[in-house]
A and B are shown apart, each in its own frame.
Chain A
């Protein structure tokens, strides 16, 4: 029994990303979409927190949103997985519920 958490806001703008990471269970997945993709970039002020979270749960980033913001796979913190919209659908189906951190 696991949850797909979605976050769509930058941690520089909102507390939702950090709040989400504070409420994940081992085995859950966190998918960064829309402006939340900025949290996936290596070297950011949040990178350490993200790396720590990656030990308990699987982190994903939505590729089209990453590309739209001028980033690619090489910019990602190690361990973060790239998915497209089809991958987003698969994640929602594979987990028992979704929790949107709006």
Chain B
């Protein structure tokens, strides 16, 4: 979207949470969720992403889509730091239920401008109890 199409929005900062609960490729939700996140980044809101249930598969390392003839969009998650999207919450229980560990996920980092541009991990593994609190702390929840 061109910048001149950006709506003139009120000067407020809301907490936006994008909830991802579906695996990539079987449906378009993961990809089109990412498109919302990228556009939404221009609005300078307080953005977090939640990955739970099969949504954790969106962040699994080593995705190879050549055999299914679809574009592998997983590298885009690595670019989120450049859009100042730095809070990717992954639910520990969802990983465990699927036989996954944090080591199975992509390395996603951002440069912290408040800490001399130190490189920090964007993925934060949280317990289900913590995820409940994260969800309860939002103004807007967009689910995909």
B70 is an interface residue with CB less than 8 A from chain A:
no
- Give the shortest distance, in Å, between B108 (CB) and chain A (any CB): 23
Which B residues are CB-close (under 8 A) to A99? Answer: 19, 135, 141, 143
B138 is an interface residue with CB less than 8 A from chain A:
yes
| Cα separation A3 to B21 with both chains bound (whole Å) | 18
- Give the shortest distance, in Å, between B9 (CB) and chain A (any CB): 19
Interface string of A5-36 (1 = CB under 8 A from B): 00000000001100100111100100000000
Chain B residue at minimal CB-CB distance from A2: B136
A58 is an interface residue with CB less than 8 A from chain B:
no
How many chain B residues touch A (CB < 8 A): the figure is 17
Which B residues are CB-close (under 8 A) to A85? Answer: none
Q: Are B19 and A25 in contact (CB under 8 A)?
A: no
Known: A23-B128, A23-B131, A25-B136. A102 touches B141 (CB 8 A): no
Q: Are B135 and A102 in contact (CB under 8 A)?
A: no
Which A residues are CB-close (under 8 A) to B140? Answer: 97
Residues of A bordering B, CB below 8 Å: 1-3, 15-16, 19, 22-25, 28, 97-102
Residues of B bordering A, CB below 8 Å: 19, 21, 29, 52-53, 128, 131-133, 135-136, 138-141, 143-144
